Amino acid sequence: MKRLERIFVSANGWALILILGAMPLIVGANISLRYLTGHSLSWADEAARYLMIWMTFIGAGLALRMGAHVAITNLQDSLPGPGQKILRGALVVGLLIFFGFMVSVGIEYAQRMQFQLTPALRVPFLYVYAAMPVGFLLLIVHLLLIAPQFVRAGTYKGAAPVQGDAAMREGANG
């Protein structure tokens, strides 16, 4: 199971790397062509925009796994140990319900847009809107993988502390 999780996280990370790499290549090629030849790629801005949308939704799960989303922990910190676990468990259940709802909404949006084409690329908007259900489905998988450790200990699986992170927290608290 650990091996499958590592493969899943690695594949998710590589998808982000490929998307993030494609965006500056497309925009850079467009800028170079515009200044060198006087002509630009009519689809470059649109492609970069849609890649940014996909990158955001695909990357949200990895950010969740690392604890990189905004969190306000005042209530949790004020509760005793068992209360903290109950609150974190309720949070996981609430997030799973919300993510599941958003998968369903995303599928509905994508289906509505399947026949409309993007202006420059001329591909169905279905492929753009599919980022939403795919991203929220990835969020569900990531959350399920980190939930046991998060509920028990309040930590995230695979969350490696950033160098100087502990010193920053101590400075903020002190």
3-class DSSP assignment, residue 64: helix
162 and 132 in contact (C-beta within 8 Å)? Answer: no
Q: Residue 51 burial by CB count (10 A; 0-12/13-18/19+): exposed, middle or buried?
A: buried
Per-residue pLDDT at 158: 54
Q: Is residue 161 part of a domain?
A: no
Q: Tell me: the pLDDT tens digits for 98-139?
A: 999 999 999 999 999 999 999 999 999 999 999 999 999 999
- For residues 31-40, one letter each, b for 16 or more C-beta atoms within 10 angstroms of the residue's C-beta and e for the rest, the string is eeeeeeeeee
Q: Is residue 29 part of a domain?
A: yes
Per-residue pLDDT at 69: 87
Question: Total structural domains in the chain?
Answer: 1
Q: What are phi and psi of 161, to 5 degrees?
A: -65, 140
Q: Is residue 18 part of a domain?
A: yes
Q: Residue 169 burial by CB count (10 A; 0-12/13-18/19+): exposed, middle or buried?
A: exposed
Q: Is residue 93 part of a domain?
A: yes
Q: Is residue 10 part of a domain?
A: yes
Model confidence at 156, in pLDDT bands (50, 70, 90)? low
Tokens encoding 130: 């599919």
Cα–Cα distance, 101 to 106 (Å, whole number): 9
Per-residue pLDDT at 172: 44
Expressed as residue numbers, the domain containing 20 is 2-156
Share of the chain above pLDDT 70, in %: 89
> What's the angle, vertex CA 58, arms to CA 22 and CA 143, rounded to 5?
155
Q: Is residue 171 part of a domain?
A: no
Model confidence at 154, in pLDDT bands (50, 70, 90)? confident
Cα–Cα distance, 101 to 49 (Å, whole number): 25
DSSP secondary structure letter of residue 125? T
Per-residue pLDDT at 170: 46
Report whether pLDDT(47) > 70.
yes
Q: If you average pLDDT over every residue of the chain, what do you get? A: 89
Cα–Cα distance, 162 to 158 (Å, whole number): 12
Cα–Cα distance, 81 to 93 (Å, whole number): 19
Q: Is residue 63 part of a domain?
A: yes
Q: Is residue 43 part of a domain?
A: yes
Report whether pLDDT(145) > 90.
yes
Cα 147 to chain centroid distance, Å, stands at: 17
Per-residue pLDDT at 122: 96
